[in-house]
Amino acid sequence: MFGSGRDGKDPVTCIACGTRTVREDAREYDKHGDRWDRVDKEFEYLCKACHRELCHQPRDKLEGLLGEVDAGENDDDTFLEWYCGLVEERYGRVED
């Protein structure tokens, strides 16, 4: 990428499957959904196979919700309780 200062040969790890590959054979993943705003960011990476499996639809509301409930900062039970509570508060109860 422009101005990255790297030659693309640095090894990176896919956050989905754990495969190690060189940077030029991976795809950047920005958990904030704004990969063009590069100031002070560290990107995570996906291998090409995992990137193809992603849903490439907009995820503005999802990423915002995950940020609000501190995804990745708490145990699974706490995360699910907070996430489900916030979704229900904003969008109503989801029927099973």
| SS3 category, 66 | helix
Interstrand relation of 11-13 and 20-22 (parallel, antiparallel or unpaired): antiparallel
Can you give the residue ranges of every domain in the chain?
A: 11-53, 60-91
pLDDT (tens digit per residue) in 17-53 = 999 999 999 998 877 666 677 777 788 899 999 988 8
Residues 6+ positions from 47 with CB-CB distance below 8 Å:
14, 16, 17, 19, 21, 25, 26, 27
| Tokens encoding 44 | 């995570």
For the question of whether the overall pTM of this predicted structure is more than 0.75, the answer is no
Who wins on pLDDT, 75 or 32? 75
In the chain, where do the E strands start and end? 11-13, 20-22, 26-29, 44-47
